Amino acid sequence: MTVIDALAGRLRAALGPDLVVTDRQELRTYECDGLAHYKVIPALVVLPQTTEQVAAVVRACVDCEIPFVARGSGTGLSGGALPHADGVLIVTAQMRRILAVAPADERAVVQPGVINLQVTRAAAPHGYYYAPDPSSQQICSIGGNVAENSGGAHCLKYGFTTNHVTGLEVVTPDGEVVRLGGGRALDPPGYDLLGAFVGSEGTLGVATEVTVRLTAVPESVRTLLAAFHGIDQAGAATSAIIAAGVVPAAVEMMDALAIEAAESAVACGYPPGAAAVLIVELDGPAAEVAAQFDEVTRLCGANGAFEIRIAADDAERQLFWKGRKSAFAAVGRISPDYIVQDGVIPRTALPEVLRRIDELAAANGVRVANVFHAGDGNLHPLVLFDDAIEGAAARAEVASAAILDLCIEYGGSITGEHGVGADKAKHMPRMFTDDDLDTMQLLRCAFDPGGLANPGKIFPTPRLCGERPGRRQAGDNRWPGVEVF
């Protein structure tokens, strides 16, 4: 009997036979997440329904030295929920209860498998919603959002998942159940382990209960679409809006190629001849929105917008967003294959970086469509290629990686909201020094000395936790009397 067979038996006894999947065909269902070109079939899948069951699974994995990976809805774009071939995949799809909605404390408490949009639906009768809005919000899970610190178009004003999670119940990598954060009250004392856990991509444990902040539904929402003849002008308008002290709910930008793709897919009717469009949305008290909306309109005009449309009603507002929201899928209409990149730059560097991306595209013989959260400086360049043409995929990869180098060169980051996962671990040394990475590994090894929690993600070269990183060498005991590890 293999170790996996023994483990499967132990888990069936603990969870019941229906919650443990061992059939090869069924296992194949879980072979990838949203980054579908990475595929690994897990050795076992479990579908726990309670915190105690998750803890039992983790303890069994630790006893058998088997890696484990948690998965929500599997919509992530960095391969963070990519299974381990010799490991257990912990799927939270059966942990979908909303445990509390408490509008007077502006909080909800949910299980990790709850879908992002369900939180908003539960809070809506009280005049509240859950602010972070990944494009996948109709299907992605809160647990997955916690793991990847997910963003969305409206995170410019409202912040990322980490700004909306105020408490967690977590199963640590040794199977203990602990609580992090203040929940319904202000932050508790001690280290901000809650903050460190959000965005840790499954490497510090499995969240089993999540307390989230609820946000009051704004009295008013107003949206405009501004078209520009040059992308520099759209970038300058974005900087001018922020420098004026206005914080829109969203500032989204699309370039000519992205607009072309969106038009061909959903006929959104953006102004013809636009080299770039900005979608700017303001929300808040009606009086505030009215005052600031005038200012934003003025700044778009002053920075060269040749057409500004103001959504007259919710239907027109949805039409503005339709083009933006369909953009990723729409590029399939103009290119057989594409890579979605995710990088960040300081907002003020936008025009210059976009010019350099153009040069990179030309030099590598690929086309790049740019769709991005301009207010955040969070770029989503789509590198288009045709896999049927020999060498095209490789050139696209080169261009895509070069865009990340650009982001780093301008003081930005290799990911804004999709995470590092399996996909970008190799890029981490381009952004961080050895000392920086060693310092992160101190945290990982403290929580997971056995290296069983989602191994192979985030870090390019997993360190054996027995060795202490840094300048120290074996035998170089700088703390006599304390065991150096």
Binding mask 418-437 for a second copy (x = CB under 8 A): -xx---x---x--xxx-xxx
- Report helix, strand or coil for 20: strand
DSSP 287: H
Nearer to a second copy, 298 or 472 (CB): 472
Which of 271, 351, 429, 450: binder of a second copy (CB under 8 A)?
A: 450
Which of 3, 17, 36, 63: binder of a second copy (CB under 8 A)?
A: 63
Q: How many residues bind a second copy (CB under 8 A)?
A: 104
Q: Does 291 bind a second copy (CB under 8 A)?
A: yes
Nearer to a second copy, 156 or 392 (CB): 156
The residue type of 160 is F
Do 129 and 164 touch, CB atoms closer than 8 A? Answer: no
Q: State how far the alpha carbon of 161 is from the alpha carbons of 147, 148, 295, 462, in Å.
A: 9, 8, 29, 26
Binding mask 2-41 for a second copy (x = CB under 8 A): ----------------------------------------
Do 207 and 143 touch, CB atoms closer than 8 A? Answer: yes
Nearer to a second copy, 451 or 456 (CB): 451
Which of 284, 323, 455, 456: binder of a second copy (CB under 8 A)?
A: 284
**How many whole angstroms from its chain centre is CA 233?**
29
Tokens of 410: 């301008």
Closest CB 56 distance from a second copy, rounded Å: 14
- Report helix, strand or coil for 381: strand
In this structure, the strands spanning 337-340 and 250-255 are unpaired
Q: Does 321 bind a second copy (CB under 8 A)?
A: no
Residues of span 352-391 touching a second copy by CB under 8 A: 376-378
Nearer to a second copy, 26 or 435 (CB): 435
Q: At what angle do helices 350-364 and 231-243 cross, to 10 degrees?
A: 150
Residues of span 398-417 touching a second copy by CB under 8 A: 411-416
Closest CB 76 distance from a second copy, rounded Å: 13
Closest CB 236 distance from a second copy, rounded Å: 11
Residues of span 130-189 touching a second copy by CB under 8 A: 149, 160, 162, 172, 174, 176-180, 182-189
Residues of span 91-110 touching a second copy by CB under 8 A: 103-106
Q: Does 62 bind a second copy (CB under 8 A)?
A: yes
Buried b (16+ CB within 10 A) or exposed e, 31-67: bbbbbeeeebebbbbbbbbebebbbbbbbbbbeeebb
Closest CB 158 distance from a second copy, rounded Å: 12
DSSP 86: T
- Considering only the C-alpha atoms of the chain, give the largest distance between any 2 of them, rounded to a whole number of Å: 74
Q: State how far the alpha carbon of 115 is from the alpha carbons of 74, 93, 480, in Å.
A: 12, 9, 52
Q: How far apart are CA 273 and CA 178, in angstroms?
A: 56
Q: Does 443 bind a second copy (CB under 8 A)?
A: yes
Which of 47, 198, 350, 392: binder of a second copy (CB under 8 A)?
A: 198
Which of 85, 124, 287, 363: binder of a second copy (CB under 8 A)?
A: 287
Tokens of 133: 């809005």
Q: How far apart are CA 207 and CA 70, in angstroms?
A: 9
Closest CB 202 distance from a second copy, rounded Å: 12
Q: Does 129 bind a second copy (CB under 8 A)?
A: no
